Amino acid sequence: MKFIVSSNSLLKQLQAIGGVLNSNNSLPILDNFLFEIDKNKLKISASDLETTMSTIINIESKDFGTIAVPAKLLLETLKTFVEQPLTFNIDSTKFGIEIISDYGKYKLTGFNGDEFPKLPNIESASSLEIDASVLAFAINKTLFATGNDELRPVMSGVFCQLSADDITFVSTDAHKLVRYRRTDAKALTSSAFIIPKKPLTLLKNTLASVSGIVKIEYNKTNAYFAFENTNLICRLIDGKYPNYEAVIPKENPNKLTIDRVSFLNSIRRVSIFSNKTTHQIRLKIAGSELSISAEDLDFANEASERLTCQYAGEDMEIGFNSKFLAEMLSNLGCENVNLEMSAPNRAGILLPTDKENPSEDVLMLVMPVMLNN
């Protein structure tokens, strides 16, 4: 088998799907990219058994066939080339691979492509189509709030709730929660599933440069995403997602409106002086003044800042983990934010004052921390 391919376009596609590869695989074959040559098309796949991502690029060839190519070796070689055509000569019986560039020849040993795991078929699947930018936004807004607790795997992914009116994406790690809803994306049938973090990270990185429609097919065990010349299939997380609506406090009479960027910068500065394990900062709101303070008693460090704000409600003092609060504020793109609270021991709700898009609804919730007076 023989084919000619542009070095840059090959590297770009390999880097796009290379995030699937694990550093320690249970099957040695998974340390390879699967090349499937079909005349002028080359389909490249990478898999870790849970997630498989494939992409198709144009090549010059008259041949058909498959070969598994060592991923690390190929990537490291391609990174050193300037744009040029590369010729691949493949021995189908011994799986030897010879790459010819403008500089010279490189030989490596591949493996039988038939040993590569086959893709699962998505039987009795439901499907929907969603704009790539909408899906990218939803992933960006929710992924950071997923949990890492191995004992609660359902919380390590993003919960997708589909209905005829809207699509809702939810993530939580029990300390913070994000609910992102889009009314301009709908499904024909109501259903829900939990997508793991890894495939979502891969989608996030790839969708940034994609315009157009993403086709999603799903059943109880797998979800399949197809867009442009790329597709991704992943196993869904099995389990029941916690009732997130029950956690969101409905009555929040104390409402603070403040410039998002100055609030975020203030938190970032003050939190440098907070305790390194709790990251605790204190918000004290009285009238139209918000004071933000932090202290680390072990090292006698402390800092405080004052900001002007709009506030309706009773004067209050509440503690938050500065890391969570900063993370949430940096994932909102609006000019001003509302922080709604009911009591110092109840969750605070962050909402954008001005929506970036009329059809999106973002709600972020952060649990308070006990203040040690």
- What pLDDT was estimated at residue 343? 94
Phi, psi (5° rounding) for residue 166? -165, 175
Per-residue pLDDT, averaged over 209-213, amounts to 92
CA distance 214 to 217: 10
Tokens at 248, concatenated? 């969101």
Architecture of the domain defined by 126-242: Roll (3.10)
Per-residue pLDDT, averaged over 86-105, amounts to 96
- What pLDDT was estimated at residue 41? 96
Q: Indicate the class that CATH gives domain 2-115.
A: alpha beta
**pLDDT, mean over the chain:** 95
- What pLDDT was estimated at residue 224? 97
- What pLDDT was estimated at residue 201? 96
Q: What is the CATH number of domain 248-369?
A: 3.10.150.10
Per-residue pLDDT, averaged over 210-232, amounts to 95
- What pLDDT was estimated at residue 169? 98
Amino acid symbol at 41: K
Over 90: is that where the pLDDT of 352 sits? yes
- Domain map (residue ranges) of the chain: 2-115, 126-242, 248-369
Instruction: Label residue 258 by pLDDT band (50, 70, 90).
Output: very high
Between residues 193 and 25, which one has the greater pLDDT? 193
Per-residue pLDDT, averaged over 276-289, amounts to 95
Q: Strand, coil or helix: what is 226?
A: strand
Whole-angstrom CA distances from 176 to 35, 346, 367 are 42, 12, 6
CA distance 94 to 111: 8
Per-residue pLDDT, averaged over 274-300, amounts to 95
Between residues 333 and 265, which one has the greater pLDDT? 265
- What pLDDT was estimated at residue 371? 82
- What pLDDT was estimated at residue 2? 96
What separation, in Å, do the N-terminal and C-terminal C-alpha atoms of the chain show? Answer: 74
- What pLDDT was estimated at residue 99? 97
Instruction: Label residue 140 by pLDDT band (50, 70, 90).
Output: very high
Over 90: is that where the pLDDT of 279 sits? yes
Over 90: is that where the pLDDT of 121 sits? no
- What pLDDT was estimated at residue 373? 62
Between residues 23 and 339, which one has the greater pLDDT? 339
- What pLDDT was estimated at residue 155? 96
- What pLDDT was estimated at residue 40? 94
CA distance 344 to 352: 21
Q: Strand, coil or helix: what is 102?
A: coil
Instruction: Label residue 26 by pLDDT band (50, 70, 90).
Output: confident
